[in-house]
Structure 1
Amino acid sequence: MVAAVRTVLGDIPPADLGVCDAHDHLFLRTPALPGQELADPASAAERLRAFRASGGRSVIQWTPYGMGREVEALVELSRATGAHVVAATGLHQAVHYPAALLDRIRDGLADLFVTELTRGIGSTTVQAGLIKVAGAFHTVDAHARLTMTAAAGAHHRTGAPIAVHLELGTAALDVLDLLCGELGVPPRHVILGHLGRSPDGAVQREAARAGAFLAFDGPSRAHHATDWRLPDELAALAEAGFAGQLLLGGDTTVPETPGMPHLLRRLHPRLEETLGADTVSALLTANPARAFAFGAPAGTAGDTA
């Protein structure tokens, strides 16, 4: 199987991703954030153009099933701006969905994810390029186990990468025990999000030693208290030999989030001072090219991701 990243306009060679925002949201809607929806195509286009003007090339949108992905708008934005955009399937925490919806889909989650990865999202032919799931605060609860089991099943059938929301940056090792230990997902196909929100260097190093990708995604208003630690956290991990597993993202969740333009305009030069230009370049280009490439499905020869 030839490695590829699956964008909303089709598969591309991983090297074509270029400078990549590894975790963001152009569109997002949830009852957990009433009145703070990301639902305006004009605003999404403005943010994406600002990101492109700062040198950005690709955005990985982690908005999963049932949270206002607006895949047709993603296609139009990608065409209009020249940015590569990757859409997600998967399921977030239960709080983001009506109970009736979860009851309706829970027994067919793996099939749903596979369909969206291989045939199209909803009534479109736009295919998802990753599976987004979520842990709970310091644990893997019953809902997380359900969604992660489905995600692992879909990964084994498609080779799709799995991106994990860690609630307040916690439970990274429990997630890896489940996904990679019990469910057999190769760690190189797992992206752990929000590790900077619980800046525990020992946990970060252990997750990196396991082989997963570590996404440091912010800044955001809610987690500003830990954002300032980012350069030192990344430097410590790079010095420990894990520079090749680190990813950066803006994670725009509400309209006031600094998000993707801030990632390159302000954060990028600050990180260069600490890490050096070559390392930061790898975090934004070479690392996401590996992290978001599909691997060979289980039962096929080889895995080029």
Structure 2
Amino acid sequence: MPLVRTVLGDIDPRRLGPTDYHEHLFQISPLLVGDELDDEDRSGRETALLRASGFTAMVDATPFGLGRDPEAVARISAGTGVHVVASTGRHREAHYGADHPTRSVDAETLSARFIREVDEGMPRHDDDPDGVRALGPDDARPVRAGLLKAGVGYWSVSPFEHTTLLAVAAAQRTTGAPVMVHLEFCTAAHEVLDLLEGEGVSADRVVLAHADRDPDPGLHSSLAERGAYLGYDGFARPRTRSDAELLALTARVVEYGAVDRIVLGGDVARRTRYVSYGGMPGLAYLGERYVPRLRSAIGDDAVERMLVANPARLLTLLSARSPARWQAAKPEAPAR
């Protein structure tokens, strides 16, 4: 049977409901000094705000080595009723200090760790990748990852990042988990898809995060034609691009026929941008302020596909152990 792997266990994809494809509940990085997400109570309250804004599921897109807390994420999911898909993998090189132990790890070792996080469970402590596995609130079920993440630089794939992509590809072939790739302003998108396809990962198992940072509908159409998902997550960032520009981009890409390849998220990712940490605009911005404008621009049906059918299809585990492709069906009411 098709399934989505959440931190509280495997569920039918139709139970996800409206899904925010890209957020961070915990994140600590040398690139974000002073902007750490590291407080369970505050991250839990922010998740409740996301739920109140209309979302019943989210992806926690923080990969290995950046302050993950799988047991806290599982408690937040249980406490708020939001389905959470956790991530394994490794971010782009700039997020890891020069002395970080992950810099000396080869692709084979990395892939084994990623596979274990999907199949057996995530480590309780993020600085101990081979240590004891995290357990859910009932202390009986392991907290498992349901997505593989990689990242690359601006028009570049460093040796570090190439190793990550090889490891993610190997883990995807084994587990069937979907892949998210962080792109800098949507550069090197086709190159990343080429690399992954060369390693046996179909483009329709990949979501390209930050695709909307380059508002080029022709580029997006060409990526969607390959089957890749377009991660639109640049909202509430007028210093780089206004919401009005992103609305126009989305409408144009929908006109090009790519509505079934767009997923939406906030990637708020900063303590200074989380209401519960004292910042703004918070996780609720997407549901409360952007989605209504998007509905007015492209219609309810297109938005529902982006929020429900598309992420459910993307997040479904597909492998040799479950070979049938799952087709989006009428969603069930999300679990309360």
Deviation at 1:247, TM superposition (A): 0.3
The answer as to whether partners of 1:249 and 1:260 remain within 8 angstroms in 2 is: no
The answer as to whether partners of 2:236 and 2:242 remain within 8 angstroms in 1 is: no
| 1:237 equivalent in structure 2 | 253
Structure 2 counterpart of 1:141, one-letter code: S
Deviation at 1:226, TM superposition (A): 4.8
Distance in 2 (CA, whole Å) between partners of 1:75 and 1:202 is 40
Count of aligned pairs between the two proteins: 301
Q: 1:184 to 1:223 in 2, by over 3 A?
A: farther
Task: State yes or no: 1:27 paired with 2:26.
Answer: yes
Matches within 5 A, 1:160-179: 160-179=177-196
The answer as to whether partners of 1:197 and 1:223 remain within 8 angstroms in 2 is: no
TM-score norm. by structure 1 comes to 0.94
Deviation at 1:169, TM superposition (A): 2.1
The answer as to whether partners of 2:5 and 2:11 remain within 8 angstroms in 1 is: yes
Distance in 2 (CA, whole Å) between partners of 1:227 and 1:272 is 13
The answer as to whether partners of 1:161 and 1:291 remain within 8 angstroms in 2 is: yes
Answer with 92-101 or 158-167: which moved more.
92-101
Q: Which of 160, 164, 172 is residue 143 of structure 1 equivalent to?
A: 160
Task: State yes or no: 1:118 paired with 2:134.
Answer: no
Task: State yes or no: 1:199 paired with 2:197.
Answer: no
Task: State yes or no: 1:72 paired with 2:101.
Answer: no
Q: Secondary structure at the match of 1:207?
A: helix
The answer as to whether partners of 1:24 and 1:259 remain within 8 angstroms in 2 is: no
Distance in 2 (CA, whole Å) between partners of 1:8 and 1:223 is 35
Q: Secondary structure at the match of 1:133?
A: strand
Q: Secondary structure at the match of 2:145?
A: coil
Task: State yes or no: 1:256 paired with 2:272.
Answer: yes
The answer as to whether partners of 1:295 and 1:303 remain within 8 angstroms in 2 is: yes
Task: State yes or no: 1:275 paired with 2:298.
Answer: yes
Structure 2 counterpart of 1:303, one-letter code: A
Distance in 2 (CA, whole Å) between partners of 1:229 and 1:175 is 26
Distance in 1 (CA, whole Å) between partners of 2:183 and 2:287 is 24
Distance in 1 (CA, whole Å) between partners of 2:243 and 2:169 is 31
After the TM superposition, which parts of structure 1 deviate over 3 Å for at least 4 consecutive aligned residues? 220-224
The answer as to whether partners of 2:44 and 2:76 remain within 8 angstroms in 1 is: yes
| 2:324 equivalent in structure 1 | 303
- Where in structure 1 are there 5+ consecutive unaligned residues? none
Distance in 2 (CA, whole Å) between partners of 1:43 and 1:134 is 27
The answer as to whether partners of 1:26 and 1:252 remain within 8 angstroms in 2 is: no
TM-score norm. by structure 2 comes to 0.86
| 2:231 equivalent in structure 1 | 215
The answer as to whether partners of 1:187 and 1:211 remain within 8 angstroms in 2 is: yes
Answer with 79-88 or 229-238: which moved more.
229-238
Distance in 2 (CA, whole Å) between partners of 1:43 and 1:169 is 31
Distance in 2 (CA, whole Å) between partners of 1:117 and 1:155 is 10
Q: 1:183 to 1:53 in 2, by over 3 A?
A: same
RMSD, aligned α-carbons: 1.6
| 2:90 equivalent in structure 1 | 91
Identity %: 39
What whole-Å deviation, never above 9, does each CA across 1:276-303 have from its counterpart, x for those lacking one?
A: 0111111111110001111123xx5723
Task: State yes or no: 1:127 paired with 2:144.
Answer: yes
Structure 2 counterpart of 1:118, one-letter code: D
Distance in 2 (CA, whole Å) between partners of 1:164 and 1:259 is 23
Q: Secondary structure at the match of 1:191?
A: strand
What whole-Å deviation, never above 9, does each CA across 1:16-60 have from its counterpart, x for those lacking one?
A: 110100111111110111111011112211211111112210010
Distance in 2 (CA, whole Å) between partners of 1:136 and 1:262 is 27
| 1:8 equivalent in structure 2 | 7
Q: Secondary structure at the match of 2:66?
A: coil
The answer as to whether partners of 2:103 and 2:160 remain within 8 angstroms in 1 is: no
Distance in 2 (CA, whole Å) between partners of 1:111 and 1:301 is 20
Higher helix share: 1
The answer as to whether partners of 1:130 and 1:162 remain within 8 angstroms in 2 is: yes
What whole-Å deviation, never above 9, does each CA across 1:74-116 have from its counterpart, x for those lacking one?
A: 0110111111011100000122123341234334111010011
